[in-house]
Structures are given as structure tokens and as C-alpha cells.
Amino acid sequence: MSIDNIISDAVSRAVGSLYSLDCKPDDVVLQATRKDFEGDTTVVVFPWVKAARKSPVTVATEIGDFLVENEKAVKSYNAVGGFLNIVIEPLYWNSVLDHITSTDNYGKIEATENSPLVMVEYSSPNTNKPLHLGHVRNNLLGYSLSQILKACGNRVIKTNIVNDRGIHICKSMLAWKHWGEGITPEKAGKKGDHLIGDFYVLFDKHYKAEVKELMDKGMSEDEAKNQAPLMLEAREMLRRWEQKDPEVRQLWEMMNSWVYAGFDATYCRLGVDFDKIYYESDTYLEGKEKVLEGLEKGIMYRREDGSVWADLTDAGLDHKLLLRSDGTSVYMTQDIGTAKLRYQDYPIDKMIYVVGNEQNYHFQVLSLLLDRLGFKWGKDLVHFSYGMVELPEGKMKSREGTVVDADDLMDEMVNTARSVSSDLGKLDGLSTEEIEKVCETIGLGALKYFLLKVDPRKNMTFNPKESIDFNGNTGPFIQYTYARICSVMRRATDAGMTIGDYSQVIPGPRETALIKRLADYPAVVAQAGNEYSPAQVANYVYDLVKTYNQFYHDCSITGEADEAVRSLRLRLSDQTARVIASALDLLGIGVVQRM
């Protein structure tokens, strides 16, 4: 049992005994003791003041006296107004460390067959271009959130919806048809998603030239954009695709297969995966069917031009288009269809969409529509709304080919990790195979940590050079500390040292601070799950590493002559490494034992 649980349980007993009040441990509010007061944790006593008919400081004092007399974990206390600052018995911290040591999967809760089933959607790429930096943040947030929710005792389904149809897909197809000359990924020596992305950029280049030519002949810009031959041809291709034209469908399937192979390679290297992938080409018709069903039930209405809408003004929103006058669907319709298929496949209790904050309004509307269409989780769906990621030089644009490609970014990160690690001598003595593994782990760890440590709701600027630093709030700093601990434990093993009894060793300030940080881990994971914030885990593990490094600097470990003290410090080191690895795993970040 953790210290917080012990104190909460003891306080609930005190309140019941002293004031005959029904107080459950979950009712007890604990918070960190202010630095200007002595104490390891603080109880807020205001909830019981009115019923006790006593002043806040009297209630705090009476509860403090009860704890000193009846709870062996409490050494002393001080009361400041309605706050009870509790000092834990120093030796008791050893039992806290023992609890951490003996707990399998410390900080995590195992799901059961009755645990809530949570579906997390992330990635959502288009099949006309490779994944870029924005997708990287999306994938890392979605995967990490899934890991954290699983650690909180939920059953989790990781899912992806691939945008594999529409005018943007036809643009790449048309460019390949006009200028591809039968090129394939194998012939080009490129990943398929990169090759298709090149044709998307090529389409835009030729399309802009046509628009300019038409404008030079006197057309307005809007007229030129609509009447450009390439755009007319792309629209015709989309129409033929929807009519299942064999030639168009064959080209579509071939080029999409190239993209999927490319995506899979990127996902694998990035360390993310999915339990189920859905495709818009399958879901958009399901969405149309559900919208027409809503039309029959009076949930939607049809306008004179034949288009179908939903009136959401009673909810403070506007009228939302769901089917165009020609019967074609919009993104909202496709999302409804995807929801229908998912609900058929899984008895979802909660649905979480990991999508950028520019889609906030979209998900307000989707939530209302799904609820009205009868999906029990629709009203409570979660839009995990995150900010955009930019580079120091500004925003990225896919059509102009100025995006930061995910594969190129990963290569750059690994190469930078190799250069920095080599300069610092951290690769000395490693085999070629070990060097490659270390550089890959450090480079991708730096990327992931830098993107995940920021509050996901905020926009951020990603600076590759800042992310790979063996000092400061970075992934490599945390990974290096883990490797340092592994080195300590190897030295101890080589010297024949074992971890013996340390129960009577009074932990010093550095040991106590480290035990406290380790004891905080389960609560941090729970809070990160409740608030959908991988950043909380990232910043916790950074604080833990800083605390360990202070301990490492001030306390001799393998050089300590007193066997009991040495045992305590070895146990602390071992458990710190364990929690570092566990926390990084929740972020999708790997560790290395030598660096």
C-alpha cells in the first residue's frame, strides 16, 4: 500500500472516531507540503470543520494527534490553519520501497474482461502523400495515450481510419497517369508513399501553370481554378471511381498498395501499431445509409436541391450538410459510417479521436449527430484536441512539397544522435551492431520525448538540434541516466555485491527524496490517463531522473562500505531504472543498457 493510501485510510479512521462522520479514504484530500513547512504530505481538513464545530487548526491538531498515536507510519505533524502537514517515520520509507519492489507492473493496473473498452483513433493519413512531422506528433500522442489508458486498467483498441478516396487521391493518380511513364517504387528506388507524394506535388505544379494561363486569357482566379483542364479531369476521375470504373479502380488499388507498404514501414520504425484499420472507401457508403436512415426518422431534412442537412441550432450550432445535392458524401458522413462499423465490430464504452485542434467544431457536430443516431457513446466521445507542430522556419505545405517527411526526419534524428554520441565518447567500446541500436534508440527517443513532453493542447515548435542533448529535459538525458544505473548494477554484480537487509537503515535526504518520487508514479499514471496527457508522464520521468542524479552525485553506491546502506542504495538504483523504463514505455520510447 502506498503512503498516500496509508494516510488516507488513517485519516478516514480518525474522522470517524473523533467526529462520528462517514469518511471514506477516497474523500481525503492530500497535496504536496509547501516547501516552507516541514512535512512529507498535507491533509486538507476543511471538509470536516463545519460538522466538527471546531476551528480548522483544532480539527487539524486533533486528527494529527490521532495519527501519531494510531498510525506507525506517522512520526509527527504540524497544523497550519486547515492544513495538516504530516512527517512520515523515516524508517517507514523502507517499507514503501519494499512495496514498490514487490509489486509486479508497478504503477499499472491489469485490465479484466469487465474493464471499460476504449477505442483510440489516431494517424488518419491520406494515401496521396507520405507521413510528415504533423502525423508523427499525432501518431506518438495516440500511441502513448493508448499505452497510458491501458496502464490505467482499460481495455484499449487502437484504430486508424485511412483517407483513401476523394479528389486529392485522384490528383496523384492523374499525375502518375500523365507523367509517370509506368514508374513503380521498385524502378524508382523509393518507398511507395514517397513516390505518390511526388506525383501529388507534380499535379499541383502543372495545375497552377494551367490556372495562370487561363487567368492570362482573362478568367478570374476562381473561374480559372474551376475550369483548369487538370481539375476537370480529376473530378471526372473521381466520378468514374464512384461508379466503380474498372480501369480507375485498378489504378487506385495499385497506387494505394504502394502507399500502404510505405506507411507500414514508417509505422514500424516509429514504433506504433493498430489493432484495426478502417478505410474511407468502405465507410462512406455506410455513412450515407445511416444519414438516409436519419432522414426517414426526421433527424435530418432534405432541401429543395436534394441535399441532406441536420439542424443543430437547438444545440447552439448551425445547419450541417451531410449529403450534397448529387448524393455524394462529406467528411462528416464518412465519420458517421466509420462509427457505425466500429460499433458493429466492438462494444465500445468510450471513443477517443486524436485529431488536431482545427477540427474542434467538427467533433462537436459529430458528437451530437452520433448521439441522435443512437450510438450510446456518441454524446461522450472525446476529441483529444492537440496543437499544431511547426519548425523554426515556419509551417509546412504538402502541395508545395515543403513538409518535413517522417522518414527523412527519423533518419536525421538517428544521424544526429550518432554524431553527438560519438563526439561525447558514448559509443566507445561498443560493437557496430550495438552502435546502430544505440543511435536508433537515442535518435527516435529524442524525437518522441521532445514531441510528448509538451502539453498536447499547445502548439509547439520542434527543433531537432535541441532535442538531442545529453543534458536538460530531453530523451537522451533520461536514456543516459538509465544506462548509467545499468552500469552501476553491473559493477555491483561483477564485484559480487548483493542486496541484503536494509530495513534498519534510516534513509538520508537524498534516499528519501528518491523513494518519494518513485512512490508518486502510480498517481502520475492515473492522472495522465484521466486528463489524457502523456506530457505528465514525460515530465514525471524527467523529475525522477533529476532526483536520481542528485542522489548519485551525493551518495556513494558501490563504494559504500556499510553493507546495509549499500543495499538500500542498490535497491533504490534498481527500482529507479525499472520505473524509468516503465514510464518511457508508456511514451513509446526504448532504453539501452550501455551508452
Q: Are 526 and 586 in contact (CB under 8 A)?
A: no
From 36, 54, 37, select the one nearest 45 (Cα to Cα): 54
pLDDT at 394: 52
From 244, 340, 245, select the one nearest 292 (Cα to Cα): 340
Mean pLDDT for 220-240 is: 94
Mean of per-residue pLDDT scores for the chain: 93
Q: Are 415 and 378 in contact (CB under 8 A)?
A: no
pLDDT at 326: 81
The answer, yes or no, to whether residue 300 has pLDDT greater than 50, is: yes
Q: Residue 431 and residue 435: Cα distance in Å, rounded?
A: 6
Q: Are 479 and 455 in contact (CB under 8 A)?
A: no
Enter the C-alpha cell of residue 69: 498515536
Q: Are 478 and 541 in contact (CB under 8 A)?
A: yes
Q: Residue 174 and residue 586: Cα distance in Å, rounded?
A: 42
Give tens-digit pLDDT for 533-546. 999 999 999 999 99
For residue 393, name the pLDDT band (cuts at 50, 70, 90).
low
Which class in CATH covers the domain with range 3-89?
alpha beta
H-type helices in 430-562, by residue range?
Answer: 432-452, 464-467, 475-494, 509-519, 521-530, 534-554
pLDDT at 461: 87
Lowest mean pLDDT among 84-98, 390-404, 484-498: 390-404
Q: Residue 235 and residue 167: Cα distance in Å, rounded?
A: 7
Mean pLDDT for 434-441 is: 93
Amino acid, single-letter form, for residue 199: F
- DSSP code, position 324: -
Q: Residue 549 and residue 571: Cα distance in Å, rounded?
A: 15
Amino acid, single-letter form, for residue 121: E
For residue 401, name the pLDDT band (cuts at 50, 70, 90).
very low
Give tens-digit pLDDT for 255-285. 999 999 999 999 999 999 999 999 999 998 8
pLDDT at 4: 85
Mean pLDDT for 559-588 is: 97
pLDDT at 328: 80
Burial of 528 (0-12, 13-18, 19+ CB in 10 A): buried
Strand-pairing partners, residue 76, are 87
Q: Are 152 and 113 in contact (CB under 8 A)?
A: no
Mean pLDDT for 216-232 is: 94
Tally Cβ neighbours within 10 Å of residue 483: 19
Mean pLDDT for 536-560 is: 97
Mean pLDDT for 284-291 is: 91
Asked whether the whole model's pTM tops 0.85, one would answer: yes
How far is C-alpha 213 from the geometric centre of its chain's CA atoms? 47
For residue 402, name the pLDDT band (cuts at 50, 70, 90).
low
- Dihedral angle of Cα 109, 112, 114, 117, to the nearest 10 degrees: 70
Main-chain phi, psi angles of 342, to 5 degrees: -65, -40
- What is the CB-side half-sphere exposure of residue 220 using CA atoms within 13 A? 2
> Which segments of the chain belong to CATH 3.30.1360.70?
3-89
Lowest mean pLDDT among 25-29, 393-397, 464-468, 533-537: 393-397
Burial of 1 (0-12, 13-18, 19+ CB in 10 A): exposed
- Beta strands 74-80 and 276-279: pairing type? unpaired
Q: Are 587 and 449 in contact (CB under 8 A)?
A: yes
CATH code of the domain made up of 406-586: 1.10.730.10
> Which segments of the chain belong to CATH 1.10.730.10?
406-586
pLDDT at 1: 64
Mean pLDDT for 190-212 is: 95
pLDDT at 426: 84
* Number of residues assigned to the chain: 595
Residue percentage of the chain with pLDDT more than 90: 86
The three-class DSSP label of residue 317 is coil
Mean pLDDT for 437-453 is: 95
Enter the C-alpha cell of residue 89: 517515520
Give tens-digit pLDDT for 39-56. 999 999 999 999 999 999
From 378, 377, 364, select the one nearest 312 (Cα to Cα): 364
Residue 317 gets the label, from left (phi > 0), alpha (psi -120 to 50) or beta, of beta
Q: Residue 339 and residue 155: Cα distance in Å, rounded?
A: 18
- Dihedral angle of Cα 371, 376, 379, 380, to the nearest 10 degrees: -160
Main-chain phi, psi angles of 352, to 5 degrees: -120, 125
